[in-house]
Structure 1
Amino acid sequence: MRAIKKLLHYIKPYTIFAILGPVFMCIEVVMDLLQPTIMQKMIDTGIANQDNAYVIKLGLMMLLFAVIGLIGGAGCTVYSAKTAVHVAADLRRDVFKKTEQFSSQNIDSFGTGKLITILTNDIETLKQAVMMTLRVFVRGPLLFIGSVVFVWFTARELFPVLLVSIPILIAFIYYFSVKSGKLFSKVQKAMDQVNTKLQEMLAGIRVIKAFDRQDYEKVHFKNVNDLLIKRNMSAEQFILTLMPIMMFVVNLGIIAGLWMGVIKINEGTLQVGVILAFTNYLNIMMNGLMSSSHVLMQIARSFPSAGRVVQTLETEIEIAEPEHPYSGGGIQGEVEFRQVNFSYSKNGNHVLKNISFKAKVGQTIGIIGSTGSGKSTLTKLIPRLYDPDSGEILVDGVNSKEFPLEKLRTAIGFVPQKATLFSGTIEDNLRFGIEEATLNDMEQAAQSAAASEFINRYDGKFSHTLMQGATNLSGGQKQRLSMARAFIRKPNILILDDSTSAIDAFSEAEVQLALRKTYSHTTVFIVSLKISSIMDADQILVMEDGEIEASGTHQELLKKSKVYRDIYHSQSGREVELA
Structure 2
Amino acid sequence: MIKLFKNLKSYWKNIVGVLTFTMIGVLCELFLPRLMGNIVDNGVVNGDINYILKTGLQMIIFAIVGTSSMIVSAYLSSKTATGFGRDLRRMVFTKVEGYSLNEMEKLGTSSLITRTTNDINQIQQVAIMSLRMMVRAPLMLIGGFVMAFSTNSTLSRVLLISGPLLLIVIATIGRVAFPFFKKIQEKIDKINKVMREELSGIRVIRAFNKVDFEKKRFEKANKDLTETFLKVTRIMTLVMPLIMIILNFTNVAVIWFGSNLISTNNMEVGQLMAFIQYVMQIMFSLIMVSVIFIMIPRASASATRINEVLELQSDIVDGVEKLPENKEGDILELKDVTFNYFDSETPAVKDISFKVKKGQTTAIIGGTGSGKSTILNLIMRFFEPTSGEILLNGKNIKNISQDELRKHFSLIPQKTVLFTGTIRDNIKMGKEDATDEEIIEALKIAQAYDFVQKNKEGLDYILSQGGKNLSGGQKQRLSIARAIVRRPDFYLFDDSFSALDFKTDKILREELKKVTQNSGVLIVAQRISTIMDAETIVVLDDGEIVGMGNHKELLKSCEVYREIAQSQLGEEALKDE
Matches within 5 A, 1:20-419: 20-322=17-319, 325-329=321-325, 332-345=329-342, 348-419=345-416
Task: Give the drift of 1:197.
Answer: 2.1
Matches within 5 A, 1:374-523: 374-523=371-520
Secondary structure at the residue paired with 1:316? coil
Task: Give the drift of 1:108.
Answer: 0.8
Task: Give the drift of 1:265.
Answer: 2.3
Task: Give the drift of 1:418.
Answer: 0.3
Secondary structure at the residue paired with 2:434? coil
| Contact 2:7-2:84 at 8 Å conserved across structures | yes
In terms of mean alpha carbon deviation, does 325-334 or 309-318 score higher?
Answer: 325-334
Cα offsets for 1:150-198 (capped at 9, x unmatched): 1111122311101111111121222233333332122211122122222
Task: Give the drift of 1:330.
Answer: 7.2
Task: Give the drift of 1:56.
Answer: 3.4
Task: Give the drift of 1:304.
Answer: 2.4
| Contact 2:324-2:393 at 8 Å conserved across structures | no
What amino acid does structure 1 have at the position aligned with 2:83? Answer: H
Secondary structure at the residue paired with 2:379? coil
Cα offsets for 1:467-495 (capped at 9, x unmatched): 11111111111100111111111111111
Task: Report how many aligned residue pairs link the two structures.
Answer: 575
Cα offsets for 1:382-439 (capped at 9, x unmatched): 1111121111222222222222211111100101100000001111111111111111
Secondary structure at the residue paired with 1:350? coil
| Contact 1:333-1:362 at 8 Å conserved across structures | no
What amino acid does structure 1 have at the position aligned with 2:569? Answer: S
Secondary structure at the residue paired with 1:387? coil
| Contact 1:541-1:551 at 8 Å conserved across structures | yes
CA distance in 2: counterparts of 1:533 and 1:319, whole angstroms: 33
CA distance in 2: counterparts of 1:395 and 1:14, whole angstroms: 45
| Contact 1:340-1:356 at 8 Å conserved across structures | yes
What amino acid does structure 1 have at the position aligned with 2:321? Answer: P
Length-normalised TM-score, structure 1: 0.95
In terms of mean alpha carbon deviation, does 197-206 or 105-114 score higher?
Answer: 197-206
CA distance in 2: counterparts of 1:65 and 1:283, whole angstroms: 18
CA distance in 1: counterparts of 2:277 and 2:343, whole angstroms: 65
Structure 2, unpaired ranges of 5+: none
CA distance in 2: counterparts of 1:58 and 1:227, whole angstroms: 59
Cα offsets for 1:19-67 (capped at 9, x unmatched): 1122212222122222222222222222222333333333333333222
Cα offsets for 1:335-377 (capped at 9, x unmatched): 2222221111265411112212222222111221111111111
| Contact 2:326-2:393 at 8 Å conserved across structures | no
CA distance in 2: counterparts of 1:50 and 1:370, whole angstroms: 101
CA distance in 1: counterparts of 2:571 and 2:126, whole angstroms: 71
CA RMSD of aligned residues (A): 1.9
Cα offsets for 1:289-316 (capped at 9, x unmatched): 1102222443333222222222222221
CA distance in 2: counterparts of 1:26 and 1:246, whole angstroms: 25
Secondary structure at the residue paired with 1:157? coil
CA distance in 1: counterparts of 2:521 and 2:227, whole angstroms: 54
Closer/same/farther in 2, CA of residues 199 and 389 from structure 1, 3 Å limit: same
Task: Give the drift of 1:326.
Answer: 4.2
What amino acid does structure 1 have at the position aligned with 2:325? Answer: G
Secondary structure at the residue paired with 1:156? coil
| Contact 1:22-1:135 at 8 Å conserved across structures | no
Structure 1 residue ranges (4+ consecutive) displaced by more than 4 angstroms after TM superposition: none
| Contact 1:88-1:123 at 8 Å conserved across structures | yes
| Contact 1:559-1:578 at 8 Å conserved across structures | no
Secondary structure at the residue paired with 2:491? strand
Secondary structure at the residue paired with 2:454? coil
Query: 1:541 — aligned with what?
Result: 538
**Structure 2 residue 560 is matched with structure 1 residue 563:** yes
In terms of mean alpha carbon deviation, does 408-417 or 202-211 score higher?
Answer: 202-211
Secondary structure at the residue paired with 2:235? helix
Closer/same/farther in 2, CA of residues 458 and 333 from structure 1, 3 Å limit: farther
Task: Give the drift of 1:508.
Answer: 1.0
CA distance in 2: counterparts of 1:207 and 1:54, whole angstroms: 82
Task: Give the drift of 1:90.
Answer: 1.3
In terms of mean alpha carbon deviation, does 533-542 or 79-88 score higher?
Answer: 533-542
In terms of mean alpha carbon deviation, does 53-62 or 369-378 score higher?
Answer: 53-62
Closer/same/farther in 2, CA of residues 264 and 330 from structure 1, 3 Å limit: farther
CA distance in 1: counterparts of 2:384 and 2:568, whole angstroms: 34
CA distance in 2: counterparts of 1:565 and 1:177, whole angstroms: 68
Cα offsets for 1:126-158 (capped at 9, x unmatched): 211221111111111111111111111112231
Secondary structure at the residue paired with 1:102? coil
Secondary structure at the residue paired with 1:288? helix
CA distance in 1: counterparts of 2:37 and 2:423, whole angstroms: 74
What amino acid does structure 2 have at the position aligned with 1:516? Answer: K
Structure 1, unpaired ranges of 5+: none
In terms of mean alpha carbon deviation, does 203-212 or 24-33 score higher?
Answer: 203-212
* % same residue: 38
What amino acid does structure 1 have at the position aligned with 2:549? Answer: G
Secondary structure at the residue paired with 1:63? helix
